[in-house]
Amino acid sequence: MEPTRADARGNRARILEVAEEVFGRGGSAASTEEVARLAGVGIATVFRHYPTKRALLEAVLVKHFDRLCGQADDLAGSADPGRAFFGFFRHLVDDAAGKLAIIEAFTDAGGDARDKADHRPLDLRAAFGVLLARAQEAGAVRADARLEEVYALLVGVSRAAAHLHLDEQVRARALGIVFDGLACGEGAEKSRPEDA
Protein backbone atom coordinates (compact mmCIF):
# COMPACT_ATOMS: atom_id res chain seq x y z
CA MET A 1 0.00 0.00 0.00
CA GLU A 2 1.37 3.42 -0.98
CA PRO A 3 1.95 5.89 1.87
CA THR A 4 -0.43 8.84 1.92
CA ARG A 5 0.83 12.34 1.23
CA ALA A 6 0.40 13.17 4.93
CA ASP A 7 2.53 10.13 5.83
CA ALA A 8 5.18 11.21 3.32
CA ARG A 9 5.20 14.76 4.71
CA GLY A 10 5.48 13.39 8.24
CA ASN A 11 8.37 11.14 7.22
CA ARG A 12 10.13 14.01 5.49
CA ALA A 13 9.77 16.31 8.53
CA ARG A 14 10.94 13.56 10.90
CA ILE A 15 13.94 12.74 8.70
CA LEU A 16 14.98 16.41 8.61
CA GLU A 17 14.57 16.83 12.36
CA VAL A 18 16.60 13.70 13.13
CA ALA A 19 19.23 14.52 10.49
CA GLU A 20 19.82 17.95 12.04
CA GLU A 21 20.45 16.33 15.40
CA VAL A 22 22.57 13.46 14.04
CA PHE A 23 24.80 15.57 11.78
CA GLY A 24 24.93 18.38 14.35
CA ARG A 25 26.44 15.89 16.80
CA GLY A 26 28.50 13.72 14.47
CA GLY A 27 29.43 15.94 11.53
CA SER A 28 30.96 14.03 8.62
CA ALA A 29 31.20 10.83 10.67
CA ALA A 30 27.40 10.62 10.92
CA SER A 31 25.53 8.51 8.38
CA THR A 32 22.22 8.50 6.57
CA GLU A 33 21.72 4.97 7.94
CA GLU A 34 21.77 6.37 11.48
CA VAL A 35 19.29 9.06 10.43
CA ALA A 36 16.96 6.41 8.97
CA ARG A 37 17.19 4.22 12.09
CA LEU A 38 16.50 7.06 14.52
CA ALA A 39 13.70 8.47 12.33
CA GLY A 40 12.06 5.04 12.29
CA VAL A 41 12.10 4.71 8.51
CA GLY A 42 13.99 2.59 6.01
CA ILE A 43 17.04 3.93 4.21
CA ALA A 44 15.05 3.77 0.96
CA THR A 45 12.56 6.24 2.44
CA VAL A 46 15.38 8.65 3.25
CA PHE A 47 16.73 8.42 -0.29
CA ARG A 48 13.25 8.75 -1.80
CA HIS A 49 13.00 12.20 -0.17
CA TYR A 50 16.70 13.09 -0.46
CA PRO A 51 18.47 11.20 -3.28
CA THR A 52 21.97 11.91 -1.89
CA LYS A 53 23.55 12.63 1.46
CA ARG A 54 24.46 16.05 0.07
CA ALA A 55 20.81 16.79 -0.75
CA LEU A 56 19.80 15.78 2.77
CA LEU A 57 22.48 17.97 4.32
CA GLU A 58 21.53 20.94 2.16
CA ALA A 59 17.91 20.60 3.31
CA VAL A 60 19.12 20.41 6.92
CA LEU A 61 21.18 23.58 6.47
CA VAL A 62 18.27 25.45 4.89
CA LYS A 63 15.99 24.40 7.75
CA HIS A 64 18.59 25.37 10.34
CA PHE A 65 19.23 28.83 8.90
CA ASP A 66 15.51 29.44 8.32
CA ARG A 67 14.82 28.68 11.97
CA LEU A 68 17.58 31.06 13.13
CA CYS A 69 16.30 33.80 10.80
CA GLY A 70 12.78 33.28 12.11
CA GLN A 71 14.01 33.61 15.69
CA ALA A 72 15.83 36.84 14.81
CA ASP A 73 12.74 38.19 13.05
CA ASP A 74 10.62 37.41 16.12
CA LEU A 75 13.09 39.26 18.34
CA ALA A 76 13.17 42.32 16.06
CA GLY A 77 9.94 43.60 17.62
CA SER A 78 11.13 43.10 21.19
CA ALA A 79 10.33 45.80 23.75
CA ASP A 80 13.93 45.46 24.99
CA PRO A 81 16.16 45.59 21.89
CA GLY A 82 19.36 45.35 23.94
CA ARG A 83 18.31 42.13 25.64
CA ALA A 84 17.10 40.77 22.28
CA PHE A 85 20.43 41.52 20.59
CA PHE A 86 22.69 40.18 23.35
CA GLY A 87 20.44 37.14 23.87
CA PHE A 88 20.49 36.26 20.18
CA PHE A 89 24.27 36.78 20.02
CA ARG A 90 24.59 34.26 22.89
CA HIS A 91 22.17 31.88 21.18
CA LEU A 92 24.24 31.91 17.97
CA VAL A 93 27.42 31.16 19.93
CA ASP A 94 25.69 28.30 21.76
CA ASP A 95 24.40 26.98 18.42
CA ALA A 96 27.77 27.19 16.64
CA ALA A 97 29.15 23.70 17.29
CA GLY A 98 26.14 21.95 15.76
CA LYS A 99 25.90 24.36 12.83
CA LEU A 100 29.61 24.01 12.02
CA ALA A 101 29.38 20.21 12.21
CA ILE A 102 26.51 20.24 9.69
CA ILE A 103 28.42 22.62 7.39
CA GLU A 104 31.51 20.38 7.62
CA ALA A 105 29.44 17.31 6.71
CA PHE A 106 27.82 19.20 3.81
CA THR A 107 31.23 20.33 2.50
CA ASP A 108 32.66 16.80 2.84
CA ALA A 109 29.66 15.51 0.86
CA GLY A 110 30.61 17.82 -2.02
CA GLY A 111 28.49 20.85 -1.15
CA ASP A 112 29.63 24.45 -1.21
CA ALA A 113 28.46 26.09 2.02
CA ARG A 114 29.26 29.56 0.67
CA ASP A 115 27.09 29.14 -2.41
CA LYS A 116 24.36 26.71 -1.42
CA ALA A 117 21.35 26.84 0.86
CA ASP A 118 19.88 29.78 -1.09
CA HIS A 119 22.16 32.31 0.58
CA ARG A 120 20.59 31.65 3.99
CA PRO A 121 23.79 32.71 5.82
CA LEU A 122 23.43 36.16 4.20
CA ASP A 123 19.81 36.29 5.37
CA LEU A 124 20.93 35.45 8.91
CA ARG A 125 23.59 38.18 8.79
CA ALA A 126 20.95 40.70 7.67
CA ALA A 127 18.55 39.61 10.44
CA PHE A 128 21.37 39.93 12.98
CA GLY A 129 22.07 43.41 11.56
CA VAL A 130 18.48 44.46 12.25
CA LEU A 131 18.83 43.39 15.90
CA LEU A 132 22.13 45.29 16.15
CA ALA A 133 20.61 48.47 14.66
CA ARG A 134 17.62 48.33 17.03
CA ALA A 135 19.92 47.81 20.04
CA GLN A 136 22.00 50.79 18.93
CA GLU A 137 18.90 52.97 18.50
CA ALA A 138 17.85 51.99 22.04
CA GLY A 139 21.27 52.99 23.41
CA ALA A 140 22.19 49.46 24.49
CA VAL A 141 25.04 48.98 21.98
CA ARG A 142 27.67 51.57 21.13
CA ALA A 143 26.80 53.53 18.01
CA ASP A 144 30.26 53.24 16.41
CA ALA A 145 30.13 49.44 16.17
CA ARG A 146 29.40 48.49 12.56
CA LEU A 147 27.82 45.21 11.48
CA GLU A 148 31.04 44.02 9.81
CA GLU A 149 32.99 44.32 13.06
CA VAL A 150 30.28 42.92 15.30
CA TYR A 151 29.66 39.99 12.95
CA ALA A 152 33.42 39.28 12.91
CA LEU A 153 33.31 39.14 16.73
CA LEU A 154 30.32 36.80 16.57
CA VAL A 155 32.06 34.46 14.11
CA GLY A 156 35.30 34.51 16.12
CA VAL A 157 33.65 33.73 19.45
CA SER A 158 31.41 31.09 17.83
CA ARG A 159 34.33 29.28 16.24
CA ALA A 160 36.36 29.46 19.44
CA ALA A 161 33.46 28.06 21.47
CA ALA A 162 32.96 25.24 18.96
CA HIS A 163 36.57 24.28 18.22
CA LEU A 164 38.14 24.84 21.63
CA HIS A 165 35.24 23.09 23.38
CA LEU A 166 35.02 25.90 25.93
CA ASP A 167 33.20 24.95 29.10
CA GLU A 168 30.12 26.93 29.98
CA GLN A 169 31.80 29.24 32.50
CA VAL A 170 34.69 30.16 30.19
CA ARG A 171 32.28 30.79 27.33
CA ALA A 172 30.10 32.97 29.58
CA ARG A 173 33.10 35.03 30.72
CA ALA A 174 34.37 35.43 27.15
CA LEU A 175 30.92 36.61 26.06
CA GLY A 176 30.81 38.97 29.04
CA ILE A 177 34.05 40.60 27.88
CA VAL A 178 32.75 40.94 24.30
CA PHE A 179 29.41 42.28 25.52
CA ASP A 180 31.16 44.81 27.79
CA GLY A 181 33.04 46.06 24.73
CA LEU A 182 29.82 46.41 22.75
CA ALA A 183 27.72 47.90 25.54
CA CYS A 184 26.92 51.58 25.62
CA GLY A 185 26.62 53.27 29.01
CA GLU A 186 25.02 52.16 32.25
CA GLY A 187 21.60 51.48 30.73
CA ALA A 188 23.11 48.75 28.59
CA GLU A 189 23.82 46.61 31.66
CA LYS A 190 20.09 46.28 32.29
CA SER A 191 19.49 45.18 28.69
CA ARG A 192 22.05 42.40 28.72
CA PRO A 193 20.97 38.87 29.57
CA GLU A 194 21.54 38.21 33.27
CA ASP A 195 23.93 35.32 32.62
CA ALA A 196 26.18 37.38 30.31
162-167, long-range: CB < 8 A, 24+ apart: 162/96, 162/97, 162/100, 163/100
Say which amino acid occupies 192: R
Cα 85 from Cα 132, distance rounded (Å):
6
- Residue 151 near residue 128, CB atoms below 8 Å: yes
CATH topology (fold) of 57-191: Tetracycline Repressor; domain 2 (1.10.357)
95 or 112: which leads in pLDDT: 95
**pTM for the full model?**
0.85
CA max distance for the chain: 66
Given this model, what pLDDT does residue 184 score?
A: 82
Q: What is the mean pLDDT of the chain?
A: 88
Residue 193 scores a pLDDT above 60: no
Cα 159 from Cα 6, distance rounded (Å):
39
Q: Which of 105-119, 134-148, 165-179 has the highest mean pLDDT?
A: 134-148
- By CB atoms closer than 10 A (0-12, 13-18, 19+), residue 54 is middle
Mark 99-126 as b/e (b = at least 16 C-beta within 10 Å): bbbbbbbbbebebebeebbeebbebbbe
- Residue 135 near residue 85, CB atoms below 8 Å: yes
Average pLDDT over residues 58-72: 93
Beta bridge partners of 183: 141
